Amino acid sequence: MPATLFLPAILAKLADAKQFEVSGDTVGELVSDAATRFPALGTRLRDPNGEPYAFVTFYLNDEDIRFHGGFGAKVSDGDELTVVPAIAGG
Amino acid sequence: MTQATIARESALAVLPQHCKLCGTEYPAEANAICGECLGPLEPTYPKDRVLPDREDIARRAPNLWRYKEWLPFIGEPVYSKETGFTPLIEVPRLAEKLGVARAWVKNDAVAQPTLSFKDRVVTTAINAAHALGLGVIGCASTGNLANAVAAHAARAGLPAWIFIPEDLEPAKVINTAVFGANLVRVRGHYDDVNRLCSQLADRFGWGMVNVNLRGYYGEGSKTMAFEIAEQLGWRLPTAVVAPMAGGSLITKLRKGFGEFQAAELVSGASPRLYGAQASGCAPIVRLVESGAATLTPEIPNTIARSIAIGNPADGPFAARAMVESGGWGAHVSDEEIVSAIRLLAETTGVFTETAGGATVGAALKLAAQGRLTRDDEVVICITGNGLKTTDVVRDVLPQAPIVDAKVREVAALVAARS
């Protein structure tokens, strides 16, 4: 499934783009696709075990993926995946 | 001209930063995230800085800038010079309820200018924004931060963009809008607002105090620890109970007490730190209770909206601060929060908002569990004012009787209550 990955500014420089198309049936596959194309970005998106870091949240169409199966969350055609580093309370 | 260049040329400069997790160093700039591991950044203090002694500090004005050597700046502050040094009130009647030797309320419910501890963090953040040449500030907020950003920006003459969940208490909305800020209500929970603001900081280059200025913002929280130590007579309590939302405050309390110990301004053991949350949103307490490696986010469902953060950024750090200090966490129901608001008011004369109710309620629970003991000297951090959440107590307080202006009617009432 084609989807769009949106990156925060701190990571965008590693892909020379703030957003780009990725493909996969799950969020994990979308991340793998991005990591294959931009290896330096890959190590920032997932830890050595292939899991998300504690300080990074992935939103699939504005929904925190941790409520939908984490990297196993299913992706539909045209979905948007947004990477958001953790920020302080308010 | 880069932001770092502006910082060097300004009369006020901010310190550079480093990653709290991997140590990577960064220049002074509006960035709170490590590009290597995405961990949070925090200011890097020069090792050779000259620190004041107790007498030096005591001679300074009663505001949080009396601890300026522990704040992330070079030079004198430009904005919000009056914030801080809120009262530390001994509360023997509450100590009796808790069964502890002595208890105090650190009363940030009267913090200036917006009656919550968020005045502290906005004070450091708005000065960081100035030092970095940022002309617009903003935040994602559960209410109190919105009030503080709006007021501090108004006083400084800066435009502010403030984003809140749509269902906030009316008083917190009014207490933001009155300052003339650009206030936007977002459909969803605070965590949705947080995500949006992270993207907006990137898009517009604003100084979002708890997003890209987070490293400088958080340091303001340490001043609560500094004040507690000084106001106790340059010593430390045995235990501190504080509310947790994003988890930053309790983490910074530990850092603050530690910095005063390192400077030999106080003696004695570090206090045990106890964190309080509402049962309807308690991911940090549940992390402590479970001993799990990672925090499980929650969808908030509580009247304590000011601490309703289901995905707390500093949650793992807060959990570590509690456990390593010998403390623990407790969460309380909405009913217990309301009951504790009334108990605090009736025993101390301090009217707190729902977060304070959670804190006092948690203290009672921790005492009942034997985690607070009769030898303890406990400080309870009250971080917000009850006038902002009157809706939660309005319907549980007794109705005041209405009488004619006749002495005999009052005499009848007095007799009935004797």
pLDDT band at B175 (very low <50, low <70, confident <90, very high): very high
Q: Average pLDDT of B33-40?
A: 88
Instruction: Tell whether A90 lies on the interface with B, counting CB pairs under 8 A.
Output: yes
Tally A–B CB contacts below 8 A.
102
Residue A89 is nearest to which of B33, B297, B312, comparing CB atoms? B312
CATH of the domain at A25: 3.10.20.30
pLDDT at residue B308 is higher than 70: yes
Total domains, chain A:
1
pLDDT band at B290 (very low <50, low <70, confident <90, very high): very high
Do residue B32 and residue A55 have CB atoms under 8 angstroms apart? no
By C-alpha distance, which of B208, B287, B255 is closest to B42?
Answer: B255
Contacts of B203 by beta carbon, 8 Å cutoff, 6+ apart: none
Predicted confidence at residue B6, as pLDDT, reads: 43
Q: Give A74's strand partners.
A: A26
Measured in angstroms, the CA of B417 and the nearest CA of chain A are apart by 44
Dihedral (CA of B257, B259, B260, B264) sign: positive
Contacts of B195 by beta carbon, 8 Å cutoff, 6+ apart: A57, A59, A62, A82, A84
Q: Average pLDDT of B97-117?
A: 98
Segments forming the whole domain that contains residue A14: 2-85
Q: Which residue of A has its CA nearest to B316?
A: A54
ipTM of the complex: 0.86
Pairing of strands A2-6, A80-85: parallel
Instruction: Tell whether A10 lies on the interface with B, counting CB pairs under 8 A.
Output: yes
Ramachandran angles phi, psi of B130, nearest 5°: -65, -45
Predicted confidence at residue A89, as pLDDT, reads: 67
Residue A88 is nearest to which of B144, B210, B294, comparing CB atoms? B210
Q: Establish if A62 belongs to a structural domain.
A: yes
pLDDT in tens, B363-405: 999 999 999 999 999 999 999 999 999 999 999 999 999 999 9
Measured in angstroms, the CA of B38 and the nearest CA of chain A are apart by 7
Q: Establish if A65 belongs to a structural domain.
A: yes
Give all domains of chain B, ordered by start, each with its CATH number: 3-49+118-217 (3.40.50.1100), 88-114+221-394 (3.40.50.1100)
By C-alpha distance, which of B336, B332, B333, B298 is closest to B315?
Answer: B298
pLDDT band at B3 (very low <50, low <70, confident <90, very high): very low
Q: Establish if A34 belongs to a structural domain.
A: yes
Q: Give B14's strand partners.
A: B73
Q: Establish if A12 belongs to a structural domain.
A: yes
Q: Establish if A90 belongs to a structural domain.
A: no
